[in-house]
């Protein structure tokens, strides 16, 4: 019996320590799981913010390439072909600047944006070819806007599609 009484303080320490260690271990694992969930939530939130900013930037781009906004750019003293060249260059530069936003947009939205940009540039060229270079800049701008208004409003349709998608994302 004396042998057992010598180990009694150690047995008591083990009986107290084991549940304590189990509780500490459980607490640590729970804490780690909560932190992982928090990191995932922050990552999703950050990604949603990036997507929202991408949609905003592309809507701004589309607004800038609307014919009503394009005809207000540059000096009124330019020749029609100079105006077309500078406007097309400006559109392409802004498009290239925003091209990284395609990472956050759906394929269909990006395709619609590219198609809208190309359609505006094509409309510039077809309007110019239709006039055969016989019009002043103001006449060209007026006919360009009229041609856009008589056709499909693809820019507004693309913006509306982007609005619907951002509602789903947000």
Overall average pLDDT of the 42-71 stretch: 84
Please classify residue 110 by burial: count the beta carbons closer than 10 Å to its beta carbon, then call 0-12 exposed, 13-18 middle and 19+ buried: middle
The yes-or-no verdict on residue 43 having pLDDT over 60 is yes
The yes-or-no verdict on residue 157 having pLDDT over 70 is yes
The yes-or-no verdict on residue 45 having pLDDT over 80 is no
SS3 51: helix
The yes-or-no verdict on residue 57 having pLDDT over 80 is yes
Prediction pTM value: 0.71
CA–CA dist 91, 71 (Å, integer): 12
pLDDT tens sequence across 92-131 = 999 999 999 888 888 999 999 999 999 999 998 999 888 8
């Amino acid at each position: 019996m004396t042998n057992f009484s010598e180990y009694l303080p150690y047995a008591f320490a083990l009986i107290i320590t084991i549940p304590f260690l189990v509780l500490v271990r459980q607490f640590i694992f729970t804490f780690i799981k909560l932190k992982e969930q928090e990191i995932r939530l922050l990552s999703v939130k950050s990604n949603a913010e990036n997507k929202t900013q991408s949609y905003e930037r592309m809507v701004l781009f589309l607004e800038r390439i609307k014919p009503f906004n394009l005809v207000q750019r540059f000096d009124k003293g330019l020749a029609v072909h100079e105006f077309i060249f500078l406007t097309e260059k400006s559109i392409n530069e802004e498009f290239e600047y925003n091209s990284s936003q395609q990472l956050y947009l759906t394929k269909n939205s990006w395709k619609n944006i590219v198609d809208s940009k190309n359609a505006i540039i094509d409309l510039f060229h077809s309007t110019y070819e239709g006039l055969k270079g016989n019009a002043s800049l103001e006449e060209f701008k007026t006919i360009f806007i009229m041609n856009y208004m008589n056709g499909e409003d693809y820019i507004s349709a693309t913006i509306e599609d982007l609005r619907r998608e951002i509602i789903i994302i947000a």
